[in-house]
Structure 1
Amino acid sequence: MTAARPALDPELSELLAGMPLMSRLTPELLAQMRLLPSTPVDDLLAHHRADRRDITVPAEDGAEIRLSVLSPAHTPGATTPAPCVYWIHGGGMVMGDRFSQIDIPLDWLDEFGMVVVSVDYRLAPEATGTTLVDDCYQGLLWTVEHAAELGIDPTRIIIAGASAGGGLAAGLTLLARDLGTPAIAAQVLICPMLDHRNTTVSSRQYSGTPGVWTGEMNAFGWHAVLGDLTGDDVPVHVSPALADDLSDLPATYIDTGSAEVFRDEDTDYATRIWAAGGQAELHVWAGGFHGFDALYPQARISTTARRTRTDWLARLLCQSVFRGRGGAV
């Protein structure tokens, strides 16, 4: 373990002081955490002008994958297809649901009139290997196939996710590239979980001490997904940091905290996109712990991080190559 580590942002440190933290996950603790109430999405939607539709689509093995489609409240006469954010929730690949961290893309629904599609992929350890990313892919295919019905412009689909969802978003974008369909306009990777090896300096810095997400908890999540798979047996689309080729990826936004376990794998991923000739914007928020802006959105550093992310999307949506019919966002 590396004893020295970046200090937390003072305001975040004060907020975190009242939160119960742990250093490890066990099957028993996971079972208890899964019993905690889900995000009260109806209360959240009351603060947004959004309509909700829940549907199920078949996975490759016939299981049902739940999707929620959140659309801007209908405006009479509106005919221009909207951009879409395909949202993948966090939770270490072992917990959470399609409404986890949903306030993040709902802000984009308000700001840009985006349609939000959120996927309930199956969780580890009940689901393993490529099942999680394959579930996300099947939901994405359904979204593209029903774009006209949903009022979505299929050329303006952004894949986004936080933590495990950020890692799955990266894997899904690689999978879509490798399969040649569908076309992805951009990816937003928020403190993404990208590398099963868990061997970076930051993963060691945030091991051996309680936290929001520690190196030990990260090892638990990856083992739940991969079991005994190692080396060349680990699927690249599950652990995206393994990908040798990061060329031909869409515009990418990555942000992370300086005081978190994923810092180094996230910065390395951006560096390798640049090395492959791609476009990535990287922000490392000084003193940010894992998921700080989702846990404490009211903190000053969190509002800055969220605003910066939204400003990047605004710039992207204004680019001529990303405009819809008639040049409208």
Structure 2
Amino acid sequence: MSRRDLIDPECRVPLDALLEVMPGGFNAIPDIVQRRTAVEGMLGAIEVPDNPNVAKEDRTVPGPAGEPDITVRIYRPVGASGTLPGVYYIHGGGMILGSVEGEDPNATMICDQVGAVVVSVEYRLAPEHPHPAPVEDCYAGLVWMAKNAAELGVDPHRLAIYGASAGGGLTIGTALLARDRGGPALSFMMPIYPMIDDRNETPSSHEITDIGIWDRAGNVEAWAWYLGGKQADQYAAPARAVDLSGLPPAFIDVGTVDLFRDEDIAFAQRLMQTGVPTDLHVNPGSYHAAETFAPEAALSRRIWAARIDRLKRALA
């Protein structure tokens, strides 16, 4: 049986449509600039109506010491008064793709449905800016958000960090930096199918070779670009972290047809063994980012409902 046969039927429809127009998926485009253009074009073609319940503002804030400033997009529920919980949002894209704009619909939805101030960070991408530039940008943005909590109307005691795929790996890497540097106190983290292990040794990293969304060859390539020829540390590849104590309570979800399945399950188990309260959701039939490609599928709605519910409870 092909791994493709295990995909949820509703979620498979848009994936098959994508592969018809782009055989091999995005990773089949060798030039990274052209690949980014293709991804942005596809995301831009998805019409998402403006949400009148959410106000947005882009702002330039200090980057890491000695490095360029970074851009953040701030989302706030319209008409909300008083202090709200905060969600620091890190976009995905394998450390080489993605943008704040591309994940604007998801950040908007979290702001609206959770009732939180969301700050989404535009970090530098590899291969032009290999590790540690992306995670240091993410950490700088988090420090800015925490320092400016009063102005943002954010309760610093109800601050969560969220990211999917590369954003999930950066979520954990940023949380590790915050722990090790005595930085902002995080009350919760939600790394979604996080990209956390550069070694590519798990069974699932060998199984997922022809799904068309983040297959093995593309993951190996992305890690090589991200690391820039250097050895990975725990902030680049959190699966390498020896000590997971002191991290915030976590929610991790991943699909059974996702290359990151086994590294994410193993990481969640280690969090539990360390005593970190951890929700682990393994979604049968879900491939990498299926809920983004097939948002109307029943499986996708269940995935998002579980995330939103858990964020609400964590930040109550």
Using structure 1 for the length normalisation, give the TM-score.
Answer: 0.88
Query: In the aligned structure 2, how far is the partner of 1:292 from the partner of 1:242?
Result: 27
Q: How does 1:204-283 map to 2 (within 5 A)?
A: 204-207=206-209, 209-230=210-231, 234-283=232-281
C-alpha contact 2:196 2:237 (8 A) present in aligned 1: yes
C-alpha contact 1:130 1:235 (8 A) present in aligned 2: no
**CA shift at 1:190, angstroms?**
1.0
Across the two proteins, how many residue pairs are aligned to each other? 310
Question: 1:58 matched to which residue of 2?
Answer: 62
**CA shift at 1:227, angstroms?**
2.2
Is 1:10 equivalent to 2:15 in the alignment? no
Q: Which runs of 5+ in 1 are unaligned?
A: 319-329
**CA shift at 1:13, angstroms?**
2.0
**CA shift at 1:24, angstroms?**
7.6
Tell me which of 167, 171, 174 is aligned to 1:172. Answer: 174
Residues 198 and 304 of structure 1, relative CA distance in 2, 3 Å threshold: same
Using structure 2 for the length normalisation, give the TM-score.
Answer: 0.92
**CA shift at 1:48, angstroms?**
4.1
**CA shift at 1:100, angstroms?**
2.7
C-alpha contact 1:56 1:66 (8 A) present in aligned 2: yes
Question: 1:326 matched to which residue of 2?
Answer: none
Secondary structure at the residue paired with 1:129? coil
Tell me which of 91, 94, 97 is aligned to 2:96. Answer: 94
After superposing the two structures, state which structure 1 stretch, 55-64 or 248-257, moved more: 55-64
Question: 2:284 matched to which residue of 1?
Answer: 286
**CA shift at 1:214, angstroms?**
0.5
C-alpha contact 2:26 2:35 (8 A) present in aligned 1: no
**CA shift at 1:5, angstroms?**
7.7
C-alpha contact 1:23 1:214 (8 A) present in aligned 2: no
C-alpha contact 1:90 1:100 (8 A) present in aligned 2: no
Query: In the aligned structure 1, how far is the partner of 2:48 from the partner of 2:115?
Result: 17
Residues 98 and 216 of structure 1, relative CA distance in 2, 3 Å threshold: same
Question: 1:305 matched to which residue of 2?
Answer: 303
Q: Which runs of 5+ in 2 are unaligned?
A: none
**CA shift at 1:31, angstroms?**
1.4
Query: In the aligned structure 1, how far is the partner of 2:5 from the partner of 2:132?
Result: 34
Instruction: Provide the aligned C-alpha RMSD in A.
Output: 2.2
Residues 6 and 17 of structure 1, relative CA distance in 2, 3 Å threshold: closer
C-alpha contact 2:162 2:190 (8 A) present in aligned 1: yes
**CA shift at 1:145, angstroms?**
1.1
Question: 1:295 matched to which residue of 2?
Answer: 293
Tell me which of 55, 61, 71 is aligned to 2:76. Answer: 71
User: Alignment identity in percent?
Assistant: 38
**CA shift at 1:114, angstroms?**
0.4
